[in-house]
Amino acid sequence: MNFDKTPDGKTLTVELNGQIDSVNINDIEKELLEEVEGVTDLTFDMTNLEYISSAGLRVLLQMQKMMKKRGNMVIKNANGNVMDIFKVTGFVKLLNIV
């Protein structure tokens, strides 16, 4: 996972890589929550995300709910498999996917 934050600390792009599963989700969640502190514009770039299980979806939904209260959250470059899961779970309507 890579973070790219503007100097004012308000705009953050998070690059998700590889696999998000039940084993690594706790570390990812912890790191994310620290990084999004004070952020009002959050983008998840999923170009290199190959796999996400419901453990990851839970955190994405939690982030979306949180960001709705203080700004904006966008998902971009989700690949076929990841999009399939967003569709099955109705997340295409809950997340802001561009």
Partner 1 sequence: MKQITIDATMDNLPIVFDFLLQSLTECGASKSQMRQIKLCVEEIYINIVNYAYTPGKGKALITFDTVGEKDSPPVRAVISFTDRGAPFDPLSQEDPNTELGLDDTPIGGLGIFIVKETMDSVSYERRDDKNIFTMEKTIDLQAG
Of 72, 67, 62, nearest to 98 by C-alpha is 72
Picking from 40, 37, 19, the residue whose alpha carbon sits closest to that of residue 28 is 19
Should residue 88 be labelled a site residue for partner 1 when binding is judged by CB under 8 A? yes
**Residue (5 or 41) nearer to partner 1, CB:** 41
Rounded distance between C-alpha atoms, residue 71 and residue 78, angstroms: 21
User: Which ranges constitute the DSSP H helices of 1-98?
Assistant: 25-35, 54-70, 80-88, 91-94
Q: Least distance to partner 1 from the beta carbon of 54, Å?
A: 4
Binding pattern for the stretch 32-71 against partner 1, x by CB under 8 A and - elsewhere: ------------------xx-xxx-xx--xx-xx--x---
Using CB under 8 A, list all residues that contact partner 1: 21-23, 50-51, 53-55, 57-58, 61-62, 64-65, 68, 80-81, 84-85, 88-90, 93-94
